[in-house]
Amino acid sequence: MGWKGLIEEYRKFLPVDQNTPVITLNEGNTPLIFAPKISALINENVNLFLKYEGLNPTGSFKDRGMTMAISKAKQNGAKAVMCASTGNTSASAAAYSARSGLKCIVLIPKGAIALGKLAQALIHGAEVLAIDGNFDQALELVKEITDNYPVTLVNSLNPFRIEGQKTAAFEVCDSLGKAPDYLAIPVGNAGNITAYWKGFNEYKQNNKISNLPVMLGFQAAGSAPIVNKAIVTDPKTIATAIKIGNPASWKSAETARDDSQGLIEAVTDDEILAAYQLLAQTEGVFVEPASAASVAGILKLAKTGYFKNNTPINIVCVLTGHGLKDPDRAIAIIKQPEVISPTVAAVLEKIKLDK
Ligand code: F0G
């Protein structure tokens, strides 16, 4: 009967039982797309794949965690959920809450979330409050309120979020028939790198794979607390999704990095925007800026000679969110269409076709 969502697909790996009301929008099952042009930029032995998480129901990987968090909140009798968000978590929480009948409250940093994400949270009926502060401050408020009032926190500090998100690692392995050699991923609040690492390890323990990937995390240079080993009090980057100065899952991101002999490094906004355009213009894949950090990071490492392989290797870049989330960014960096008269002659003059 086709794909019924990740809880049904991976039920035996998830903390659900027959009494869990499964709240799903058939999330998961996103494509792993081969990227021939970007592979060739690295070396002839690299096969680079794109895990296109922007094709989840609300346009980001957050749906994987949210189907679990909302289903478990329902099972546990919650009436309301709450999150702080740079946009995607709030979009996803709002959609799954609407579907389940839960009240959803969202705190966002004022003026710092992309237009599409704000539209989503609003249209799904969440109560959206913009704070005059940043994401880290919003998360502190949400932690304090959810600790003291009957409201369930659905940020990735909620362990069910990580459980749902680990299924992306399962899907990558199921598609390749093994674990990739490298897994590249943007890092913000650091829940997703934690979830992937958990997923790969569980698949190994269950003999579904025999190797683990090297984990490569990338933060935006102006918001790189893990790289700099210090909280960033005023994070800056055009990649608003990962504009986070004090990640909640900081420790477990370091564990993923160290246990896999990987690294977490910074990429500049210019590098992010170059990768953003490269993905769109050579591979036909439109992502939001934060997602392009994974590809930017791989290209940066390639330039330093990090990939010295003489035999074929697989690299998977996680593309966390859809480009339509942040249309303003694309429009700001690409030349706008010229207005011409509605005549064949005027069109032909501009496009200069050979007969
Ligand atoms: N990419 C996108 C598109 C995101 O929205 C986020 C996080 C990340 C990467 C980083 O993932 O936090 O697990 O390390 N967005 C959160 C939000 C913070 O509120 O939507 P992470």
Q: At what angle do helices 167-176 and 191-205 cross, to 10 degrees?
A: 50
pLDDT of residue 308: 86
Q: How far is the CA of 218 from the centre of ligand 1 (A)?
A: 12
- CA–chain centroid gap for 51, Å, is 10
Which of the residues in the chain have pLDDT under 70? none
To test the pocket of ligand 1, the residue of 189, 250, 329 to mutate (highest count of ligand atoms within 8 Å of its CB) is 189
pLDDT of residue 128: 98
Q: How far apart are CA 65 and CA 310, in angstroms?
A: 38
pLDDT of residue 309: 85
**pTM of the predicted protein model:** 0.97
Instruction: Single out the residue of 292, 167, 174, 172 nearest to residue 242, CA to CA.
Output: 292
Please tell me the residue having the least CA distance from ligand 1 atom 15.
241
pLDDT of residue 1: 73
Q: Residue 289 corresponds to which tokens in the numbers above?
A: 């800026």
Q: Residue 55 corresponds to which tokens in the numbers above?
A: 């094709």
Tens digit of pLDDT for each residue in 232-283? 999 999 999 999 999 999 999 999 999 999 999 999 999 999 999 999 999 9
Count of other CB atoms within 10 angstroms of residue 132: 8
Q: How far apart are CA 316 and CA 311, in angstroms?
A: 16
pLDDT of residue 171: 99
Q: Give the position, in ligand 1's atom list, of the atom nearest the Cα of 187.
A: 14
**Ligand 1: residues whose CB is within 6 Å?**
60, 62, 85-89, 156, 186-192, 241-242, 288, 290-291, 320-321
